[in-house]
Chains A and B, each alone.
Chain A
Amino acid sequence: MIIYYFLAGAVALLLTAFARSHRVMNSVSVVHAASVFGLTAYSAIAGGLPAFYTEERYFFIDNLASFEVMLSSIVFFLAAVYSSGYVESLVKVKELDRKYVKAFYTAFNALLSATVLAFFSNNMALLWIFVELTTLFSAFLIAILNSRENIDAALKYILLTSTAMLFSFAGLILMFMLSQGSLGEGSLNWDVLVAGASSFPAQLAALSFAFMFIGFAAKSGIVPFHLWLPDAYSRSPSAVSAILSAAVSNIGIYGILRAYAIAGQTGAAGLISGMMMAFGVLSVAVAVFSMLRQDSLKRLISFSSIENGGFALAGTAIGTPVAVFWVLFYIAAQSLCKALMFFSAGILHMQYESTRAHKMINALALQPAASWGLVIGAAALAGMPPFAMFLPKLFVLSELASASGALLLVMAGLLLIGASALALFLVRTMTRTAGESVVSVAVPAGMKLPLFMLTIMIVLAGLFVPEAVSDFLMNAAAAIARGE
């Protein structure tokens, strides 16, 4: 099965290389993302997971990887649909040179392939390599716009995340040592490490986890490794911001989940959970207070991403199957919400040539689809019913309550501040009207379609979760959780 993902990526890159028109390149990207989703959905429905590939079992497809890939492919698919009109608009306002459209789609497809292969890597060193490749292609996509600030943002991103990822590799080497010492033969295959983790010495396992955590935390924007994130997300083209925040940053949390599944079985489980909880709460705190003073919409969403990452981390630290189940649900819901927010921000940027609150006048009248996208996305991110984030937030908080009442109070208070920051920004933006007649910028249908699709998904996921989906997610959670 893995070979088909390699083939899909190779064919997409080849067709993009030979394509002469933007339409063809865009269509290739749409089909590439759709084929990844189709392949993964097929393997999930066909059953028989986990399935291992290559003689050394370097790759595998299990429920968790399958879930992450399906989620990412949806985001990439919608971003590709959105890009059909968005890239042209960037060219029109000279933010992107037409000569670089091919480079944009090449990096887009390469990023999709690297993301998918990262999730499907059973070998932790391969996971590390593909995570590094996602950094490489993401930095390329950040730097492609005609602005010096983009180069700065890309350089900051690549240096900070790659530097942190080297610590992860040191953690992997320690993990290899552990497996050599405890199992007799060294391995970096996740299934082998999980199976033998209970015999690993606690102190070295904790050190190994701490090193791995630094890299993956940087990738997902966990405080204090987040310094690259606000610049990178806010400077990127909106389609790229959506991919980075809703798909690529999930790889960081995914890496932490995989590492936690190993180290959580050792005698260091309590220490590791405490560390994750501390970083999770710190991330949420730093993010929500930063959100309060943002004037730029994209920076506001960026800090909200840090808040989401922190909350997911804190939820994982609880470690019970129920908590991990709702964390996975939360990851899916926040990905959809952030994609909706960034796509809406892209349209508003087209209208006002800025995403600063004070520049958005008559937004609801001039760009109703994007404005409502923003309102719905923000309401969902705040955890309001009936949207998709309501249930996971509620249940993670209730799991937190059973762990510590004080933590529940702190976390609930911080989430309230985050929700207030979103609401304040929306009130400032959406109520700003003026008598002057500003002309509405025509937005291609391809840019509005993902907003409608995401809104439907966010509402449906909040109202109804099919039993097959919850069973699938429960199995994914069971592979990570420490058990009751």
Chain B
Amino acid sequence: MPLVLAEGIQKNFGSLEVLKGVDLRVEEGEVVAIIGRSGSGKSTLLRIINGLETFDAGILSIDGERRTGLEKDLRPLRLKVGMVFQQFNLFPHLTAGENVMLAPREVKKLSQRAVRELAEETLSKVGLADKFKAYPDQLSGGQQQRVAIARALAMRPKALLCDEITSALDPELVGEVLDVVQRLAAEGMTLIMVTHEMRFARNVGNKLIFMHQGKVHEEGDPRELFAHPKTPELASFTSAIQ
């Protein structure tokens, strides 16, 4: 059974049709890269998957549980699906360690010792064991984003959603964040990544989704699609971005 299964998802913002029937199937351990022009609905799709947005039609099930889109309490869903944002969204009044420890302690009610170990473990996983006591404004963008990844991982999600997590970074900091994601992928983490890093999408992804005007326009094996795009839209998109 797929971890994420979406069929015919539609979403309107007022009169604007943003998603016009999107199908998506993500198996456990899969790394799915979503590419497409700005405004094609990539973020909206991710945000629907973890309930930050509602949807107007279609079927969505996460880890075998059917989402109605009307549930009041989304917390059970959020425990399964973590999210990393373009703008990091670290809590600026908390240190890196506290950022990571907050939700495991308050939401999962783990003991102080357990959350401390968890934070040390996840921070060292992203290469920031020595930044436990640093505040976000004392860290570079790349380091902040890695703390954000550690914060999401500490909740032990079944899947991690990443929305253009390197787009706000200076070019020289992109690599350190992608390295972390690549290591997660190698460990078998299920990843759904909206990205503009085409090389990364091709080399790390198991599946490529090309979105165009609110639809999945093409999907398949990343190397295959990059080498032989079937539609002129994907061909012009990849040639424009490279």
Q: Do A and B bind each other?
A: no
